[in-house]
Amino acid sequence: STSTNTELKQGDAYYLPPVPSVKGADTETAIIEAYRIAAAKIVSEAVDIPLETAYPGIDVGNKKADLYVAMPRFRLGGKPDPWAEKVVAHFKPDEYLSKCTSEKGFVSFTLNHDTFTRQVLRQIRNATPSSSLGTSVNPLDKAAQKPGYGSNKSGQGKKAIVEFSSPNIAKPFHAGHLRSTIIGAFLANLYEAHGWEVTRINYLGDWGKQFGLLAVGFQRFGTEEELEANAITHLYHVYVRINQEAEADPSIHDEARAFFKKMEDGDKEALALWSRFRDFSIKRLEETYKRLNIHFDSYAGEAAVKPEKMEEAFKIMQEKNMLVQDKGAYLCDLEKYKLGKVVIKKADGTSIYIARDLGGAAQRYEKYNFDKMIYVVAAQQDLHNKQLFKMLELMGHEWADRLEHVNFGLVMGMSTRKGTVKFLDEILAEAKDSMHEQMAKNEEKYAQVEDPEYTSDVVGQTAVKIQDMSARRINDYTFDIKRMTSFEGDTGPYIQYSHVRLCSIERKNPNIVLPEDVTQIKTELITEPKAKEIIYLLACYPQLVNDAMRDYQASGIVTYMFKLTHAVSSAWETLKVQGQEEELAKARMYLFLCTRDVLASAMRLLSLTPLDRM
Ligand code: ARG
């Protein structure tokens, strides 16, 4: 049996008698699980079923009660009402539960709010990365970036690769890449929050015959200065222009093919130019990623896939009779699986996208020995990924079932009035400007913000990210700068505002100082229903993080953040800190600071930077 709080003796205010351990219930990271087990124990004893059977039947987060049980689910025979009454008869109030009632076949448990409040807040406090409750987390502090409360160790010792963002050099960083960036960053954080060792890979589109075209274009109208200043935009302009010229003059394409051939043959000069394009582009991208609070461990893109790895994949497929020849090209027939026919090798022998993915997967497995590899790519590439995974499986790779494609829908309404493509930087600039404009309207507050440029940028990105993660991944959504940068409604700015307001409590109450030893805080003074609602929500957060691991939906976390911020905003009046008797003020401040830390934890999980002023 687990020993919750073994360091405490019976009689101590924080002592909780141990509960038996149940598979899947992690009381170390979510104390509410101990309360759930306590309820399960009562049910199991009362109607004589195993604890393991009773436990999943204890419903958390049901509006009807703190802990709610539908007796029919246990299929005990006969009407459920007498069974529910048996549970009530067996119940005795204790440190965990204070009340038990039944209605028809349903049982409601009420938590012992004294112990619950104490335990939940202390668990948050102990798990919060910033060492002092009194200071909010510095966004530049790497250690503090790690999600604290809500994280667990279930994946310890396991390795995950998350491949995301993956733009193509010289082609625009479009909305699909932005979504991949946002969702991928969240998934990588999520795996880390579950104790996994995560490698973030940006699989750059840095190979292919478009580089031949780009090189020809650069030789004609590229400049070193512009390349260094902003490689992404410059190369894109060069690329667009050379494509236009090539329409009138097809010989440009021959030149381009010849250049790419040189690259594939390892020509030093050709590769030197290519690698300058690549390096400058990465440099530019990294600035933007940094701005977005996102980093990568590797930029190994398509070019990094070794030709011998592709050849190896090709050989295995030949040996396994997976290939048919067609006019000099090689195809893999996946009609049997309703996945069509896939060209693996072209007649002219040049490598192609899917072949690079086939070789690349094996190359990564050898390098990282991953337990899980996730590709965060738009739903437009669903077929590509299904084909890829099926072929790797047919090739007999035992790790093929460790691959997962996480897809997402389209962003609509992204083209500007001029009809041009929108670059990532433009999107972020637009969001930032919109926020800056709104902030400037409140002169008094604006004057207190130390760095309005930085602040409006962070709020702007929060707006973009929250809009992206608000609905289920697969849904398309319309990019609407007005709506997402509004302070009204469930938006990113509203979340930042809520966090800022929670941070302001300390500033506004300099005379209320919390003791280092939080067991001295009189949490029993926190009794209002509003406060209970908040504490219950705080207690549920670890489960939310768990759920997200099952469906990879950031929207669950976003919905949670709005529930929490709404609960807080409706509690300011009833839970005043200012002007209260000291012990009460301390207890309430403790509650709000813990709430701030949980909100910040959730924000960081979504790659957001929590602000303390705006
Ligand atoms: N660069 C590709 C694109 O923009 C996305 C890469 C997806 N990842 C992969 N392993 N194929 O369409």
Summarised one tens digit per residue, pLDDT across range 323-337 is 999 999 999 999 999
- 166 CB within 6 A, ligand 1: yes
- 375 CB within 6 A, ligand 1: yes
Summarised one tens digit per residue, pLDDT across range 145-154 is 455 899 999 9
Tokens of 81: 């009402």
* Residue 226 Cα to ligand 1 middle (Å): 27
Query: Residue 409's pLDDT is what?
Result: 95
3 state DSSP class of 381: helix
Summarised one tens digit per residue, pLDDT across range 23-33 is 989 999 999 99
At residue 530, does pLDDT exceed 50? yes
**CATH of region 159-411:** 3.40.50.620
Query: Residue 208's pLDDT is what?
Result: 85
Query: Residue 46's pLDDT is what?
Result: 98
Summarised one tens digit per residue, pLDDT across range 167-196 is 998 787 888 899 999 999 999 999 999 999
515 CB neighbour count, 10 Å cutoff: 11
3 state DSSP class of 519: helix
3 state DSSP class of 399: coil
* CA 360 to ligand 1: nearest atom: 10
> Rounded to whole angstroms, how far apart are CA atoms 584 and 98?
23
Summarised one tens digit per residue, pLDDT across range 470-513 is 999 999 988 888 888 888 899 999 999 999 999 999 999 999 99
* Residue 358 Cα to ligand 1 middle (Å): 13
> Rounded to whole angstroms, how far apart are CA atoms 235 and 222?
8
| β-sheet with 106-111: strand ranges across | 58-60, 67-70, 106-111, 97-103
Domain extent listing, the chain: 1-111, 159-411, 424-605
What's the whole-model pTM score? 0.93
Average pLDDT, the chain: 91
Which of 166-170, 311-315, 543-547, 571-575 has the least mean pLDDT?
A: 166-170
Q: Which fold has domain 1-111?
A: Gyrase A; domain 2 (3.30.1360)
**What's the mean pLDDT in 45-62?**
97
Summarised one tens digit per residue, pLDDT across range 412-455 is 876 544 444 567 888 899 999 999 999 999 999 899 898 999 99
Mutation to probe ligand 1, out of 201, 377, 405, 421 (largest number of atoms < 8 A from CB): 377
Helix axes 268-291, 210-221, angle to 10 degrees: 90
331 CB neighbour count, 10 Å cutoff: 17
> Rounded to whole angstroms, how far apart are CA atoms 405 and 174?
19
Mutation to probe ligand 1, out of 165, 183, 381 (largest number of atoms < 8 A from CB): 381
Query: Residue 440's pLDDT is what?
Result: 92
Summarised one tens digit per residue, pLDDT across range 327-381 is 999 999 999 999 999 999 988 877 789 999 999 999 999 999 999 999 999 999 9
Atom 7 (ligand 1) nearest CA? 377
Per DSSP bridges, beta strands 411-412 and 477-478 are parallel
Burial 559-598 (b: 16+ CB within 10 A, else e): bbbbbbbebbeebeeebebeebeeeebbbbbbbbbbbbbb
Per DSSP bridges, beta strands 159-163 and 106-111 are unpaired
Q: What dihedral angle (degrees, nearest 10) is formed by the CA atoms of 601, 13, 525, 130?
A: -20
Query: Residue 181's pLDDT is what?
Result: 97
Query: Residue 380's pLDDT is what?
Result: 95
Query: Residue 137's pLDDT is what?
Result: 42
Mutation to probe ligand 1, out of 164, 166, 168 (largest number of atoms < 8 A from CB): 166
CB 388 within 8 A of CB 354: yes
Which position has the token pair 């001295």? 520
Q: Which fold has domain 424-605?
A: Isoleucyl-tRNA Synthetase; Domain 1 (1.10.730)
Query: Residue 480's pLDDT is what?
Result: 86
* Residue 313 Cα to ligand 1 middle (Å): 19
Name the CA radius of gyration of the chain, rounded. 28
Query: Residue 426's pLDDT is what?
Result: 85
> Rounded to whole angstroms, how far apart are CA atoms 582 and 397?
65
* Residue 353 Cα to ligand 1 middle (Å): 9
Which position has the token pair 């668990």? 123
Longest CA–CA separation in the chain, Å: 89
Summarised one tens digit per residue, pLDDT across range 549-606 is 999 999 999 999 999 999 999 999 999 999 999 999 999 999 999 999 999 999 999 9
